[in-house]
Amino acid sequence: MDLPAPFEWHGEHVGIELPGGRALFTTRRGGVSTGPYASLNLGRWTDDEPAAVEQNRDRLAAAICIRRDAIAQGFQVHGADVRRVTTPPEVDPDPAVRPPEADGQATALPGVATLVLTADCLPVALIACGAVAMVHAGWRGLAGGVIEEGVTAVRELGASGPIAAAIGPGAGVCCYEVGEEVRDAFAPHGDAVRAGRNVDLKAVARRELRAAGVGEVHDTGLCTICGDPALFFSHRRDDGVTGRQAGVAWRS
């Protein structure tokens, strides 16, 4: 499968390098989980075998060449909070203990990666010289301002110069049919983000990024719902019984 430049395949996963940092959007390939979670399920709060998830997270850490205890993650609640990670983790946290609630992670620390988990929601990387962030952008997060908060976090952490963004695999307008509640949430964007009963979350994200001052926006163009089921987990396609892929960003 060809990817739009500057995305490129990084082994089994989708990578991008931008001034100041890198991002990786994982696929479901290359792990040890089985059944509906096969194979690289990174979601600790799924019904997958915990030991398998931890082995998968070891493989992710090896793929990005960052210690697994230096990967910052929050407990996602479809909100707009972005945690500023200003001190490096000292030990790998107990996987049974939920981290602080946050739908984004931002850091200026070299050697620390920011991670969100998705299975149709959008992982959006924000990369600049001096700081990076990764945000989890479902419809509630987008409507609540998670993109703007991510940009604010990167600036507060000292990013200099322009911020670039990369939108990873997620629900495409081709498949994301929604009810009135969701369409009403994005009514201010007008017809630019609608196609009949479907909403274009990626178009919403692009517009929110532009409004927040991000001039360079890249999109993988990959839909997790109608894409190859061997490539991506999809909450909607799999009726909620599925694993989680990750979006990860770190300074280069």
| pLDDT tens string 95-121 | 878 999 999 999 999 999 999 999 999
pTM of the model: 0.98
pLDDT (0 to 100) of residue 94: 80
Looking at residue 89, its pLDDT comes to 75
Q: Pick the closest to residue 234 from 25, 20, 37 (CA basis).
A: 37
DSSP the chain: ----TT-EEETTEEEEEETTEEEEE--S-S----GGGTTT---TTSSS-HHHHHHHHHHHHHHHTS-GGGEE--B--SS---EEE-S--SSPPPTTS---B-SEEEE--TT-EEEEEESSSEEEEEEEETEEEEEEE-HHHHHHTHHHHHHHHHHHTT-EEEEEEEE-SB--TTT-B--HHHHHHTGGGGGGGEETTEE-HHHHHHHHHHHTT--EEEE---BTTTS-TTT---TTTTTT----EEEEEEE-
CA 206 to CA 91: how far, in whole Å?
A: 36
pLDDT reported for residue 120: 98
Nearest-CA neighbor of 242 among 73, 96, 38?
A: 38
Give yes or no for residue 90 having a pLDDT over 80.
no
For residue range 171-203, what is the model confidence (pLDDT) as tens digits?
999 999 999 999 999 999 999 999 999 999 999
CA atoms within 13 A on the CB side of 75: 10
The band of 215, judged by pLDDT with boundaries at 50, 70 and 90, is very high
Kind of pairing, strands 122-129 and 113-118? unpaired
At 8-67, the pLDDT tens digits run 999 999 999 999 999 999 999 999 999 999 999 999 999 999 999 999 999 999 999 999
Q: What is the mean pLDDT of residues 125-149?
A: 98
**What's the distance, Cα to Cα, between the start and end of the chain in Å?**
26
pLDDT in the model for residue 96: 79
- CA neighbours within 13 Å on the CB side: how many for 11? 13
Give me the percent of the chain exceeding a pLDDT of 70: 99
Report pLDDT for 138: 98
Mean pLDDT of the chain: 97
Nearest to 133 by CA among 108, 111, 110: 108
pLDDT at 85: 97
Beta bridge partners of 250: 22, 113
Q: At what angle do helices 146-156 and 201-211 cross, to 10 degrees?
A: 40
Fold of 8-251: CNF1/YfiH-like putative cysteine hydrolases (3.60.140)
